[in-house]
Structure 1
Amino acid sequence: MCGISGVLFHTEASQMVDTMVKVQHHRGPDATRKFVSEDKTAALGFNRLSIIDLSEQGKQPMYSEDKRYVLVFNGEVYNYKELKSELQFTYSFKSQTDSEVVLAAWMQWGEKCLDKLIGMFAFAIWDTASQTLFAARDRFGVKPFYFSVSNKSFRFASEIKALWASGIEQKKQDQVWANYFCYGTYGLPHQTFWEQIEQLPAGHFLTYSLPEGAKIKKWYTFEENISTLIAQHKEDITATYEALLIESINLRFRSEVPVGFNISGGLDSSTLLALVNKCFPHSPIEAYTFYTGDSRYDELEWVEPMIAQTGNPLHKCKLTVDEIPALLQKVSYYQDEPFGGIPTLAYAKIFEQAQENGTKVLLDGQGMDEAWAGYDYYHNDTAFNVQGVTSSPYHIAVLSDEFKELAIVEKYASPFDNRVMNLQYRDLFYTKIPRALRFNDRISMMYSTELREPFLDHRLVELAFSRPYTEKYHDGNTKWMLRKLVHSYLGSAISLAPKRAMQTPQREWLANELKPLVIESIDKLDNTSYFKKGKLLSEYIGFCTNPAQSVNIWQYISLAQYI
């Protein structure tokens, strides 16, 4: 995992990339390099976090043998060894890196190479002869790719702040912010919270040249893959799915640096714990979990007994309320956009500890709920509420009339003749997964740590997604087939336990210890055009009297970080 950046068709491309790699240093502190074209109008930058092939042979930007193609690559292609064996007869490899395999694969197969890649990635290849850029993003958007087109020049980066550093004005996209406050959304797949800056949607590739401009095309045919699997309709895929789970774990342990994993007390991370120990029974892999010291929300009472049985070293990472103001400011800088709340700050403590311990790669259990329809709202009538909350947590009465009018209800594709599958599709490609992956990428990279998502292996997601509803929900149990599969690993106490949302004492802290932080945030916002003057303070006083839902209070704090 690294940082990539580039500027094309601009006379100051080299200087711009210099500033971009500086602000992305945290994404790759091991090395910084750049490519500059002969005419000085194109430059690519790279910040390296060394995970595979730690030698100088793994340096980027990486060049084809004839120097025509220049690659900058962020992420991991886990099946690079298998692809390398396939390509070795037509390409002379000089390194042991997955990035060189990506370059060779693209030269051999063009855009079709993307279908062969198993992993998380965002990369760009500059064709020095045709003056054309090719860029692509992985199937679910684990790795970021932001870009801006201005006066025919093209700029891209792993983080928004790098584009600002190149000279793009930091100006809010009011309509995206209006939707955030009215509906709790974080923008459509191509949008950001900032004007002039877009993101390449997950599962898409982009080409850019002066004659053609930017052309974006979808390459990941998720819907077609699901239809094919449904048509095949294999009666029992339990053994196939379990084998894929194990393969996915093994692939994500391909690393030349220490690997650990994150754990909570839920089914998904318990499954991760069990599979890690099945794959590596004689190597106790280090585990990380966070807690706040509030027994109403902490999951140590579930985590510690599980770890006691497996013997994995456990690092317990505590978030205290006193840390929050400073940590909020720091995390907001690295996020560049609003994030979900105090649980994200607590998650940051894990990566801080991992960095101190020298654990350079962590795994987590993201993706099972979306693949297996694990949320309760899939199975009742609260699909358009937040986490099943029946009354809206968004209090639009505090918003100015002009600002409210900017909000538009986002429309999501519904490609299936099935309500639950369309909700899963929404969460995978529009709402939950894009949001969580952005939070997690910035949090992990903030501490120069690579986060891998074994349960977002596209083969696992597709197989689970395509299964009949009876395998997703049975007698009040969500993720039914998964629960049956892992029963032999975990026992019924865990495999049949009801889903628990990952929580922190956010409501209590915002109403009490963090009151000065909230008041300071409200003071910043009171004179903006987004809110009716004086309404935010009244809203907060009411919240302190009855702190039932804190989503809107956190939104005010989030916006205040960018004022």
Structure 2
Amino acid sequence: MCGLNLIVDFRGNLNIDNVRQMNVATQHRGPDGSYVEHLNLASAQVFMGHNHLKIIDLSSASNQPFFSEDGRYVLIFNGEIYNYLQLKAALPTSYHWKTNTDTEVLLYWLITRGANGIAALEGMFAFALLDIQQQQILLGRDSFLIKPLYFYQDERCLVVSSEIRGVVASGVAPNRLNEGQVGHYLRFKYAQPPQTFCQNIYHLPLLANFDVNTQKLQEIPTNTTPTYSTSSIDTQTPDSQSIEELLITSIAQQLQADVPVGIFLSGGVDSTLLLSIAQELGIQNLPSFSLVNTVNNQNFGTKDFHFARLAAQQYQSVHHEYTIDATDLKDLAHWVACLDQPIADGAALLTYLLAKKARKQVKVILSGAGADELFAGYNRHWAFAQYLKKRPLLNALKPYAQWLGQGLSDGKAYPWRNKIRLTQKFFEQIDIHPAQTFVNFTQLQTIPLRKHLHLTPPQIQHTTTEKWLRWCLCYDKTHYLANDVLAMTDAMSMQQGLEVRVPYLSQALTKAIQHYPALELLKKGKKTLLKEWLNKRGGQLYTQRAKEGFGMPFGKWLQEGKLPWITNSLKKPHPVIYEWVDYPKFEKMLATHQHKKRDYTSEIWAVVVLDYWLKAKF
């Protein structure tokens, strides 16, 4: 895991200091070494930079930029190729290997197979491969978009980096706010790719080629994008056991490293299953890391820590805990400044805090990210399935249910609070059209906006419940998983120089699960398959508990007056906030929340993060 930086200078006005500045800005991604190369081509000069986090082969021979033996090709690479030993065995025996790294294997795999070889890569990655002779640069990312890559281009140069701050640090790309993304963020909690919050800086596609001579960046079509097919179920539908074996293989591959490996353990199904399989594979005393809430915060926070402790004891991990408190938010300005782009997910701060603690013990962490999207684990997946079964009746009941819901407060901490809140949100968000209903399930609904956000209604039509469910899982993987979960996981972990691996997101596992009936995934509730596999390993305690998000009691702390620096900040927000948010109505919303009449935790958090981020960046 590392950070890569690249400049292609068409006019010869830049020098190696420009890429060095990029390396400095992204140093946290690779604290084990920082390296640069300057190459003069016929039509441009190229600067390549790399920050190295050493995970496999800790020798200096593995440093990047990495040249082919004949000097024709140069690779900079961020990530891990988990099946690199199998790929290495499939390459010609004439290669003279000088390292034991996946970097060298990836270099020669791309030289031998080209862009067509990308589909065989099992891993998480972003890379830039320069062919000096042909003056072509192949740029690629993994199909889940686990590893980020951004670019800026004008008439002077092309700049590519693992982070937006790397692009800006080149001294070429201006740091100007793309205000068009503010509205999307206030509705969906993140920016809308390929655009970013910075003008003219974009996400790179999965695969692209840059021709140095013509100065043209061209996307290469690829069929490796993980989709939950809406076509008819394959006649060779995989069974539960074969899919389980693919998960076991993925975990075994991702446990391999030349440095200490640990696990983020929540006590939920996803992470507990990973831990139980790791123990089954013979991994003893795996370090595990969890966050702890106080008991009186559990209705606004999470009880995960209780189950994490039990899982650690049952599956024999060496457990470490970090107790979160309102005072952790005193460092909010620093934490938000670490984000390339604002993401309105409270789990981002918690990931930052947990990664900071874990990095003192390990260099690699396993995470359960991606399990919910693949195996139908969110409340909205179950809710959408119920809606599809009874949508005419539910739409008819909507006005009455909303009227009854007005008399029920979700602003206080009491045992049935979460169920009442979910029921209220369900009836507020259902629509006549199924696609719009599911999109509503994924949005923040109640932030009062001064500008109308023009959202194109989803033009999706399916005729069966099965196809609708398959579509909604694909929607979540394409949008929420890539732009929220994986983006914030990468940003927060790499800020600490910690590599996070996600065993549920393997190519082989995804290809199998996309041919498994979505209705079967929800047959016995959310994550039917994962619960079945964990039950086999004695995990009934974790499969029978209610699902909770990776949350903190931010809403309760606001009500208790424990965050005065945040509420004071909201009285003088960044000017852009005023342009989008109707501030008198938002102040009323904040007061309603503080008086425990309604719970607006998510909406308030979204505005707070955006306000702090804008003040830090612009």
Q: Tell whether the structures are fold-level matches, with TM greater than 0.5.
A: yes
For 1:372, the aligned partner's letter is F
For 1:469, the aligned partner's letter is A
Corresponding residue for 1:204? Answer: 207
Change (3 A) 1:13 1:395: farther
Within 2, Cα distance between the matches of 1:412 and 1:44?
Answer: 43
Corresponding residue for 2:75? Answer: 71
Change (3 A) 1:140 1:229: farther
Alignment of 1:427-446 (within 5 A): 427-446=476-495
Determine if contact 1:5/1:158 at 8 Å carries over to the other structure.
Answer: yes
Change (3 A) 1:387 1:106: farther
Is 1:360 matched with 2:367?
Answer: no
- Listed one character per residue, the Cα deviations across residues 174-218 of structure 1 (whole Å, up to 9, x for unaligned) are 22111222x2252333221221111124x4334343415111134
Is 1:557 matched with 2:612?
Answer: no
| SS of corresponding position for 1:456 | coil
Within 1, Cα distance between the matches of 2:463 and 2:77?
Answer: 34
Within 1, Cα distance between the matches of 2:63 and 2:47?
Answer: 16
Corresponding residue for 2:572? Answer: 523
Determine if contact 1:317/1:353 at 8 Å carries over to the other structure.
Answer: yes
Within 2, Cα distance between the matches of 1:504 and 1:45?
Answer: 38
- Out of 555, 558, 563, which is 1:507 matched to? 555
Corresponding residue for 1:305? Answer: 310
For 1:34, the aligned partner's letter is V
Corresponding residue for 1:244? Answer: 246
Corresponding residue for 1:408? Answer: 455
For 1:537, the aligned partner's letter is E
Within 1, Cα distance between the matches of 2:152 and 2:115?
Answer: 22
For 2:27, the aligned partner's letter is H
Change (3 A) 1:373 1:180: same
Corresponding residue for 2:261? Answer: 259
Is there any run of 5+ residues in structure 1 with no aligned partner, and where? none
Within 2, Cα distance between the matches of 1:169 and 1:537?
Answer: 34
Determine if contact 2:291/2:323 at 8 Å carries over to the other structure.
Answer: yes
Is 1:380 matched with 2:383?
Answer: yes
Corresponding residue for 2:18? Answer: 16
For 2:511, the aligned partner's letter is E
Structure number with the bigger relative contact order (C-alpha 8 A, sep ≥ 6) is 2
| SS of corresponding position for 2:49 | strand
Corresponding residue for 1:321? Answer: 326
> Which of 424-433 and 52-61 deviates more?
424-433
Corresponding residue for 1:369? Answer: 372
Change (3 A) 1:310 1:425: same
Determine if contact 1:428/1:434 at 8 Å carries over to the other structure.
Answer: no
Structure 1 segments of 4 or more deviating over 6 A?
412-417
Corresponding residue for 2:391? Answer: none
- % same residue: 25
Within 2, Cα distance between the matches of 1:223 and 1:350?
Answer: 29
Q: Once the 2 structures are TM-superposed, how far is the Cα of residue 547 of structure 1 from its aligned partner?
A: 4.8
Q: How many residues align?
A: 550
Within 2, Cα distance between the matches of 1:463 and 1:37?
Answer: 43
> Which of 414-423 and 121-130 deviates more?
414-423
Q: Once the 2 structures are TM-superposed, how far is the Cα of residue 2 of structure 1 from its aligned partner?
A: 0.3
Within 1, Cα distance between the matches of 2:3 and 2:459?
Answer: 30
For 1:273, the aligned partner's letter is L
- Listed one character per residue, the Cα deviations across residues 451-492 of structure 1 (whole Å, up to 9, x for unaligned) are 0000111211232232113421124x1222332232111343
Corresponding residue for 2:536? Answer: 488
- Listed one character per residue, the Cα deviations across residues 100-158 of structure 1 (whole Å, up to 9, x for unaligned) are 11110010010011111100000001122222211000010111101111125110101
Within 2, Cα distance between the matches of 1:414 and 1:207?
Answer: 37
Q: Once the 2 structures are TM-superposed, how far is the Cα of residue 95 of structure 1 from its aligned partner?
A: 0.9
For 2:77, the aligned partner's letter is F
Q: Once the 2 structures are TM-superposed, how far is the Cα of residue 22 of structure 1 from its aligned partner?
A: 0.2
Determine if contact 1:379/1:420 at 8 Å carries over to the other structure.
Answer: no
Change (3 A) 1:413 1:332: farther
Corresponding residue for 1:93? Answer: 97
Within 2, Cα distance between the matches of 1:208 and 1:225?
Answer: 33
- Listed one character per residue, the Cα deviations across residues 508-534 of structure 1 (whole Å, up to 9, x for unaligned) are 123321132132144033574334464
Corresponding residue for 1:137? Answer: 141
Change (3 A) 1:415 1:205: farther
Within 1, Cα distance between the matches of 2:36 and 2:556?
Answer: 48
Is there any run of 5+ residues in structure 2 with no aligned partner, and where? 389-420, 430-443
Corresponding residue for 1:7? Answer: 7
Change (3 A) 1:337 1:541: same
Is 1:153 matched with 2:157?
Answer: yes
- Listed one character per residue, the Cα deviations across residues 495-515 of structure 1 (whole Å, up to 9, x for unaligned) are 344422232211112332113
- Out of 119, 123, 132, which is 1:119 matched to? 123
| SS of corresponding position for 1:509 | helix
> Which of 248-257 and 494-503 deviates more?
494-503
Within 1, Cα distance between the matches of 2:203 and 2:493?
Answer: 19
Q: Once the 2 structures are TM-superposed, how far is the Cα of residue 407 of structure 1 from its aligned partner?
A: 4.0
Determine if contact 1:189/1:200 at 8 Å carries over to the other structure.
Answer: no
- Out of 161, 179, 196, which is 2:184 matched to? 179
For 1:303, the aligned partner's letter is A
